[in-house]
A = this chain, B = another copy of it.
Amino acid sequence: MPLVLDPAAQDLLFREARTANTFTSEPVTEEQVKAIYELVKYGPTAFNQTPLRVVLVRSAEARERLLPLMSEGNRAKTGTAPLVAILAADHEFHEELPRLLPHFPQAKDVFFGERTVREQSAGLNAALQAAYFILGVRAAGLAAGPMTGYDAAGVQKEFLDDDHTPLMIVNIGNPGEDAWFPRSPRLEFDEVITTV
């Protein structure tokens, strides 16, 4: 077999895992979230930057503030998911670079002195980290329901600040009844990958 990853792990992370639209009431514990982070924090990024920030919406008060900002089609599932996480990009991530990249601390200023450069880099690398996070949720045996349908400016104003922009909102929990649609098609290998 050309893959060395265990087939059960392939299923857990990719083949059997699905984006969940309904959830059971079983809670997602702090211990689970910590284990997810301690795994996915090792996912690679450019210059070892870490622009991803996560806001866990746990209180009823915070959820009440979030729900009106969700697209109508996302409101019910976000209202009932055991845990909701706002994933955001920190555009001031360069402040931590001297600590995160000890063999090249100058990167902070040499490469990331300009805010527009940082915003572009944070967008790409926080998205990579968001993908690692989604797979980490699956690695914990949980289902993720990532969503981009929400009032981004409203979420930023209510939960973040001028230096943090939301990337996506992820419902997390154990899948409930009729949790997903049938699997939709994917593009064929030759439609995506070309050789030169």
Contacts and interface: CB of A to CB of B under 8 A. Distances in A.
Interface of A: 1-6, 8-10, 12-15, 17, 19, 29, 31-44, 46, 48, 50, 52-59, 62, 96, 99-103, 121, 123-124, 127-132, 134-135, 138-141, 144, 146-148, 159, 167-168, 181, 184-187, 189, 191-196
A17 B141 CA distance: 22
Contacts of A132: 14, 131, 135
Contacts of A101: 184
Contacts of A195: 55-56, 58
Contact of A50 (B12, B52, B131, B192): B192
A44 B19 contact: yes
Given A6-B8, A44-B134, A57 B189 contact: no
Contacts of A196: 55-59, 62, 159
Copies of this chain, tallied across the complex? 2
A100 B14 contact: no
B189 A37 contact: yes
Contacts of A146: 44, 46
Given A13-B5, A48-B184, A56 B193 contact: yes
Contacts of A12: 4-5
11 contacts: A5-B12, A5-B138, A19-B44, A42-B186, A46-B146, A46-B168, A53-B192, A53-B194, A54-B194, A56-B194, A56-B196
